[in-house]
Structures are given as structure tokens and as C-alpha cells.
Amino acid sequence: MPSSEFGLALGYVIGHHFFNMQDLHYGYWPEDLARAPQNLARAQAHYTDFLMSHVPAGVKSVLDVGCGAGNTARKLLERGFTVDCVSPNGVLTDVAKQVLKGRADIFETRFQDLQTDRRYDLILFSESLLFIPLEDAFTKALALLNPGGYVLITDIFRVPAEGKSPIGGGHELPRFRETIARYRLDPMLDLDMTDGIAPTFDLLDAAYREAIQPAYQLLLSRLEAKYPWVMKLVKWKFRKKMERYEGKHFSGRRNGANFKKYKSYRLLLYRSTSPDTERGTVENPRFSTTPLSTPSI
């Protein structure tokens, strides 16, 4: 399993056990919700509600790309949508199957490798676009959409900033905008969710510094006391990897302030157009039909 998929699976197992998390995506924190670990599941539920409130009227069928533990797909089903899922992660696919109980088909493959004759009114990328090359994602999405169908994206993006970001992940936002402009996808909405997502990083940073780091150091001390020569060899052989891990997770820099400095979290809605449709004039039954200018980052 690739390290990114392993991290997702491990994060779900730990979060589900200790915090009753049903989702893998970040929490979206309303102003009146206390920034505390026990509220993370509520912030994640708020995220899902916010996402689903921006599904356009008239959408009936949804393809959930990277469905994670299946909870978003479950909520879409409960609201009357027909849902299929894409899941390349075997561990999470098993969880999603239990959650969905056969009510949605799950394609166990990468999105860019998906082969199906089905077509959808909306393709959802909820924190999954960052794992897919942009050209592959948009080409495949257009091939799977019904005429006039939508692409809804909620994800993290990198923005230009001085210094090296301590937080990884995400496509470059300027390149994303330049790339998607080449496809038959008309922009309908572009909402900045960064401030509401940032508290999740403060909680994660505190968890690493206050719980995971002490546990990590205790474990190393115990192993060094019991197997001194073995640990001496391990620390010599894996010194650089250990230093990278410790520097990444225990530096105290993976916090909300740096998230807002180096990242932008967006909700983006696009509608597919036919080749002979003038760009920027597609009517939307729910949202403003005024063409969007490219927002600043």
C-alpha cells in the first residue's frame, strides 16, 4: 500500500476509535463550535453538510471519487441520490462496504483507470483530487459526465508563499486554474474554506506534540534499554528517515497559521459544456449565472 493510502487508513482507524470519527476529511469549524478533539467529528459532519448544500438542483446521480470510509456516500444516498464510488484503498473499501451495505457500487480502482459505461450528473472530488494528475482527472470526468453535468471539488491547494511549507499535499492553485481552463468546464462557484479548515491543523499539531511525540520517545527509550546494539544499528541505518519524520511531525509548524500561509482550501463547482457552447454563459438552475472572474489566491 502506498504511504499516502496507508496514512489514510491508519488515520481512520485511530480517529474512529478515539474520537468516533466517521469521515476522513478535515473538519470545517463553525464559529460557535469549540476547537477541541472531542468536537472533530461534529466539525467533519458540518463539512459534509456544507458540501452537500452546494450540490446543484436537478442532480440525481453522483460518482464519489475516493469515497474513503463511505460516510459521505451514505449521506448522499439518504438524501435520495443514486451513488457509485471509486476507492483504490483496500482497507477503506472494506469499511465503505460495511457502511453502504450494498446500496452503492464501489469501483475498486484508481479514478483514472476506471472503466464503466455509466454516466453521472455530478462527479465529486472530496479531498481526492490531490492524489490524481489534473489532466487525467478532468479528461476522465468529462468522459463520465452526462451532458451539462457537474464537477464538485473540495480540496487543499498550494499557494505561493515565502519559505518551505511544513504541510504537504495539494496541487498548485495557479496551475490548477490554468489547467482546468483548457477543459469544457465552466466555473460556477469558488468558495474559500481555508479559515474554517485551519483549526483542524491546530488540533493535529497539538496531538503530535502532546501525545504522539512523548509516546514515540518512550518507545525509543524502552527499545534502546532492552536492545541497545540493535537500536544503535537501527538509528544509524535509518537516521535520516527518523530525522525527517521527527522534523515533519514534531516541529510545531504544522499548525493552522502555517496552513493559512501556505495552503488554500476551496470548494469549486464546474459545469460541463458542449463544444459549441460559448464559455461562461451556461445557465445554472440553482446558482448565479454570472460568469466568475478568476479569484485571487
How far is the C-alpha of 88 from the C-alpha of 117, rounded, in Å? 19
Q: pTM of the prediction?
A: 0.82
Strand pairing report for 61-65 and 120-126: parallel
Contact criterion met (CB below 8 Å) for 155 and 172: no
Cell of residue 108, nine digits: 475498486
Please tell me which of 86-90, 170-174, 222-226, 241-245 the model is most confident about, judged by mean pLDDT: 170-174
Cα–Cα–Cα angle for 23, 27, 32, rounded to 5 degrees: 130
Q: Is the pLDDT of residue 250 over 90?
A: no
Helices (H), 24-70: 40-52
pLDDT tens, residue by residue, 147-170: 999 999 999 999 999 999 998 889
Q: Which residue segments constitute the domains of the chain, with CATH numbers given?
A: 3-197+258-272 (3.40.50.150), 200-249 (no CATH)
Least confident span in 14-23, 24-33, 140-149, 177-186: 14-23
- Name the strand (E) or helix (H) holding 158: strand 145-158
List own/partner pairs for 275-279 with CB under 8 A and 24 or more apart. 275/184, 277/184, 279/186
Query: Mean pLDDT over residues 35-51, rounded?
Result: 91
Give me the percent of the chain exceeding a pLDDT of 70.
84
DSSP-derived 3-state class of residue 262: helix
Q: Measuring CA to CA, how many Å separate 203 from each of 25, 127, 254?
A: 14, 19, 10
How far is the C-alpha of 162 from the C-alpha of 256, rounded, in Å? 17
